[in-house]
Amino acid sequence: MAEDTPSRATTGRPRSQVRRLAVLGATLDELADNGIRSMTIESIADRAGVSKVTVYRWWTDKIALTLDALNQLPELTVPDTGALESDLRSLRVALIKLIDTTRLGDVLPALIAERRRSEHHDAISNYIEQRSTPFRIIVQRAIGRGELPEHLSVDLVAHLFSSPLSGSILLRDAPLDDQQWVAIIRVLVAGLHASPDHITEEHRHDYPRR
């Protein structure tokens, strides 16, 4: 495909920016449809309606392009209601809305599947961990308020909360409803208070990253 000549798009954006956004959108489409392993720079370029030269002008390889495309997706706004349970309930609503209104719900299952067998395991894992940041912030606040024991590992506790919620949304036909989610929150909080010594920073490395 011939390279586009420099000009301005009808929307007022520079044409290069329009092409760049088209490539990022095509990357998310390819990732959702085919996964990282099967998609190629050529397939992305074809879907975006640009040349491979255009793609390589901005990105060195498909993992760099994939991560850039993923970073265009909206971040979750972290609720701050003043209480752990209501924070997590609000986060559930926000996460479901984000999954329903963006490509995040399409691409995350593909990323999770690819992470176990990809040479890009670390890059994918780092992105998925980044997406768990709202849970860590909520846990840190709860510890600061005294709702959770202060010596708990923030990362491990955030993982305990994020796994059932994210898994139910991404891997099941119907996500957890509010009543089910509250029941899980209360069971986990009770368990953390009953056996806090098993989820401390000292034990963090006993649980390998997957």
Domains of the chain listed by start with CATH number: 15-70 (1.10.10.60), 84-206 (1.10.357.10)
What is the structure's pLDDT at 151? 86
Provide mean pLDDT across the span 133-161. Answer: 93
Structure confidence at residue 172 as a pLDDT band (50, 70, 90)? low
Separation of alpha carbons 20 and 69, rounded Å = 10
Residue 197: predicted pLDDT: 65
pLDDT value for 44: 97
Q: What does pLDDT average to over the chain?
A: 84
- The pair of three-digit structure tokens given for residue 62, joined into one six-digit string: 């498909």
Sign (positive or negative) of CA dihedral 43, 45, 47, 49: negative
Which pLDDT band, with edges at 50, 70 and 90, does 68 fall under?
Answer: very high
Has residue 55 got a pLDDT over 90? yes
Question: For the whole model, what pTM was predicted?
Answer: 0.78
CA dist., res. 8 & res. 78, Å (int): 37
Which has the closest alpha carbon to 162: 138, 197, 196, 126?
Answer: 138
Residue listed under structure tokens 């891997």 = 171
Instruction: Map residue 197 onto helix, strand or coil.
Output: helix
